């Protein structure tokens, strides 16, 4: 079975850098209006996970969650977390690095 979420080498390198600065991390796939639909990176425990959040897996040893309603749209795809230049979500830890996490996807076979 293919994992529901994976990360590129660039994303994994950034995750390691952020873990060195901030300690254990977690991700939540944003569906909010302010930050678009971006993977948001937080110190572990800084974002409140609720009963309606789905744990998709881990990237770089960090749990990756998505709200269940949004998951309904994405459940037939594999999320591929990448890094691109630019400013991302204002609350996501990578913002000070001049890059942002980006979600790409591909349909499951």
Higher pLDDT, 74 or 83: 83
pTM: 0.91
Q: Which residues pair with 45 in a beta bridge?
A: none
**Which range, 3-17, 28-42, 62-76, has the best average confidence (pLDDT)?**
3-17
Cβ neighbours around 89 below 10 Å, total: 20
Tokens for 80? 């591929």
Give per-residue pLDDT as tens, 76-94.
Answer: 999 999 999 987 667 889 9
Nearest Cα residue to 50 out of 72, 69, 37, 25: 69
Sorted by where each starts, the structural domains of the chain and their CATH numbers stand as: 5-107 (2.60.300)
* CA distance linking residue 76 with residue 83, whole number of Å: 22
């Amino acid at each position: 079975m293919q994992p529901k979420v994976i990360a590129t080498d660039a994303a994994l390198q950034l995750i390691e850098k952020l873990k060195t600065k901030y300690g254990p991390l977690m991700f939540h796939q944003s569906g909010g209006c302010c930050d678009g639909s971006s993977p948001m990176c937080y110190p572990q425990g800084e974002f409140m996970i609720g009963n309606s959040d789905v744990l998709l897996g881990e990237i770089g040893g960090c749990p990756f969650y998505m709200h269940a309603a949004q998951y309904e749209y994405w459940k037939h795809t594999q999320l591929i977390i990448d890094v691109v230049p630019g400013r991302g979500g204002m609350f996501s830890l990578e913002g000070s690095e001049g890059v942002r996490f980006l979600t790409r996807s591909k349909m499951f076979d």
